[in-house]
Amino acid sequence: MGGELRFVQGNEACVEGAMYAGLDFFAGYPITPSTEIAELLASRLPLKGGKFLQMEDEIASICAIIGASLTGNKVMTATSGPGFSLMQEGLGYAIMAEIPCVIVDVQRGGPSTGLPTKVSQGDVNQARWGVHGDHAIVALTASNHQDVFSITVDAFNFSETYRTPVILLFDEVIGHMRERLKIPEPGEIPLVERLKTSVKEGVDYHPYLQREDGRLPMSDFGGVHRYNVTGLFHDMWGFPSEKPSVVHELMRHLVDKIDHHVDKMARYREYFIEDAEMLLISYGSSARSALHMVTDRRQHGERVGLLELQTLWPFPAAVVREKTRNARYVVVVEMNMGQMLQPVKAAVEKPERVFLANRVDGVLITPADILNILRLIQGKGV
């Protein structure tokens, strides 16, 4: 790893990751705490021949990236909770029409305009279920800038591999804090490029006809093939269909293409897990507090460990079940009212042993906050 050493904000690490992954097109509407992503890309993208568009709002932003993706570009937009709410309709369309795209949500306090400049992790379930109708989704996060970089590259790779929107769910602390980032050399992290159809001009191309491996090769929209794209249930030509067998098959496909690859997409880090009696599960900036606390208590001989999730959706239930097997207590550390608590409870063998350590006042949960809750669980008082 001999790349350039930088000292940057998390938002800049995301921009660097996106550029590394081959981002061609960004459309967005600036919003705190994600603004630096748009600001930096406005100057960076045109230099490599890419396009930056500031749109009139977030609805237009996601629609613009969907269109640009269809024409063969790697695309991204960035926002925060209020803008992410507006993007849900377009997100559902991208899921249905199977358009690769990356949506960054740098979380702040909500609902509504909430706490514009303060940290929160309140959009975890919005990422999962903000879109109406059954569907699967990919949402990733990270707690340090090196991981922000590589998870951003993963986001582009997953979106191309599975022809799906991928959500990057960062938070205000990660977005704004500065720390070191070593930019990997080109080729150090493998990139997944757009899978293009081998069907020649003048030959019928079926945009939604799966290959044997389940993948759907694309043809640049507006290029040599004419085809239809719709948010309605559709057949292999992309034309609307209400035929029950077509509808059923497409729904299964949309869910299975993600759920069947949970293992391939499960990104996580583990610290002191082997003999941990108390296992913390956390993600994003709260995982930094959890790791601080775990490292400190280990020095005092306490058997605490941390499982840091980077893939939040599809939820890596098998990993969580396996890693929590030997723990007496499991404590989910997050900055919301328990949005990851529920899937963790559903995944473990003893849900009654799962507790929540949270903070929802716009302040980063501290190692002392977590330790106090651990002491309470252990019956030791604070």
Q: What residue ranges bind another protein (CB under 8 A)?
A: 5-7, 32-33, 116-118, 172-173, 176-180, 285, 288-289, 291-292, 295, 364, 366-368
24, 238, 311, 324, 330 from 307: Cα distances, Å: 34, 42, 12, 9, 10
Least Å from the CB of residue 326 to another protein: 24
Query: Is residue 62 helix, strand or coil?
Result: helix
To another protein, the closest distance from the beta carbon of 158 in angstroms equals: 27
| Min dist. Cβ of residue 288 to another protein (A) | 5
Question: Measured from the CB atom, is 180 or 350 closer to another protein?
Answer: 180
Let me know: does 233 contact 247? Beta carbons within 8 Å.
yes
Cβ neighbours of 287 (radius 10 Å): 28
Minimum CB separation of residue 86 from another protein in Å reads: 23
CB distance 152 to 17 below 8 Å:
yes
CA distances from 291 to 132, 195, 242 (A): 36, 39, 51
Bridge partners (DSSP) of residue 279 are 305, 330
User: Hey, is 83 helix, strand or coil?
Assistant: helix
Alpha helices in the chain (DSSP H): 10-21, 35-44, 58-70, 81-86, 88-97, 124-129, 145-162, 172-176, 244-259, 262-265, 284-299, 317-323, 341-347, 367-377
Nearer to another protein, 79 or 159 (CB): 79
Q: In terms of CB distance, is 130 or 305 closer to another protein?
A: 305
Task: Pick between residue 96 and residue 365 the one whose CB is nearest to another protein.
Answer: 365
Angle at 34 between CA 282 and CA 19, to 5 degrees: 90
State the burial class of residue 127 (Cβ atoms within 10 Å of its Cβ: 0-12, 13-18, 19+): buried
Nearest distance from residue 181's CB to another protein, in Å? 10
Beta carbon of residue 43, minimum distance to another protein (angstroms, whole number): 15
Residue with tokens 């899937």: 343
Q: State which residue, 8 or 262, has the beta carbon closest to another protein.
A: 8
CB-wise, 159 or 289, nearer to another protein? 289
How many Å apart are CA 6 and CA 237, to the nearest integer? 47
Q: Which residue's CB is nearer to another protein, number 32 or number 71?
A: 32
Whose Cβ is closer to another protein: residue 216's or residue 273's? 273
CB distance 191 to 156 below 8 Å: yes
Give min distance, CB of 80 to another protein, in A.
13
* Distance, CA of 21 to chain centre: 15
Give least dist CB 243 to another protein, A.
53
